């Protein structure tokens, strides 16, 4: 059974945090689905991942193409994970179910701590996944480094 990690971003934006976490997920041998709620944000992330730190690129694709199953990282706005992802990343408040947490190695829920609506949405997501029996961990970067601040299990 996987765990849901909630990342409360207060010092670095999504565009800087996501490539680092994706690099770590790939390093762990996981295939990743990044789920958002709208095409404009996914367009921005798609462009950003072509210019990721290090070698300047994280191998990825957008859902809906002929090679979805081959993508190590798949950006999607749907509930499906056609690339066989073992890690799901939720951005922009995208839905995650307790069943998905159980089925994945890891679920990451990234939210902007400077956006009150995003914080409220993350709290709702925490309640949903923990009420469904999933273990959740809350990570904050308020001191500059990521630190575990709470765990449901």
The predicted-structure confidence for 76-94, as pLDDT tens digits, reads as follows 999 989 999 999 999 999 9
Euclidean distance between CA atoms 85 and 72, whole angstroms: 8
Give the per-residue pLDDT at 15: 92
- CB burial string 59-75: b at 16+ within 10 A, e below: ebbbbeeeebeebbbbb
The CATH architecture annotation of domain 3-151 reads 3-Layer(aba) Sandwich (3.40)
Domain ranges of the chain: 3-151
Give the per-residue pLDDT at 53: 59
Give the pLDDT confidence of 105-141 residue by residue, as tens digits.
999 999 999 999 999 999 999 999 999 999 999 999 9
From 94, 95, 76, 98, select the one nearest 85 (Cα to Cα). 76
Give the per-residue pLDDT at 56: 64
- Apex 56 CA angle, 23 and 26, nearest 5: 15
Average pLDDT over residues 30-55: 88
Give the pLDDT confidence of 56-82 residue by residue, as tens digits.
678 999 999 899 999 999 999 999 899
Query: Helix axis angle, 39-49 relative to 14-27, nearest 10°?
Result: 60
Give the per-residue pLDDT at 50: 83
**pLDDT mean across residues, the chain:** 93
């Amino acid at each position: 059974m996987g765990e849901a990690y909630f990342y409360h971003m207060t010092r670095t934006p999504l565009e800087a945090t996501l490539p680092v976490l994706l690099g770590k997920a790939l390093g762990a041998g996981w295939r990743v689905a990044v789920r958002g709620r709208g095409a404009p944000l996914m367009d921005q992330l798609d462009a950003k991942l072509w210019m990721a730190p290090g070698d300047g690129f994280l191998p990825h694709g957008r859902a809906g193409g002929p090679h979805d199953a081959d993508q190590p990282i798949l950006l999607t706005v749907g509930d499906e994970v056609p690339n066989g992802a073992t890690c799901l990343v939720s951005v922009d408040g995208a839905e995650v179910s307790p069943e998905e947490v159980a089925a994945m190695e890891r679920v990451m829920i990234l939210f902007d701590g400077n956006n009150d609506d995003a914080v409220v949405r993350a709290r709702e997501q925490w309640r949903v996944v923990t009420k469904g029996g999933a273990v959740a961990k809350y990570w904050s970067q308020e001191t500059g480094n990521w630190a575990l601040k709470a765990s449901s299990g």
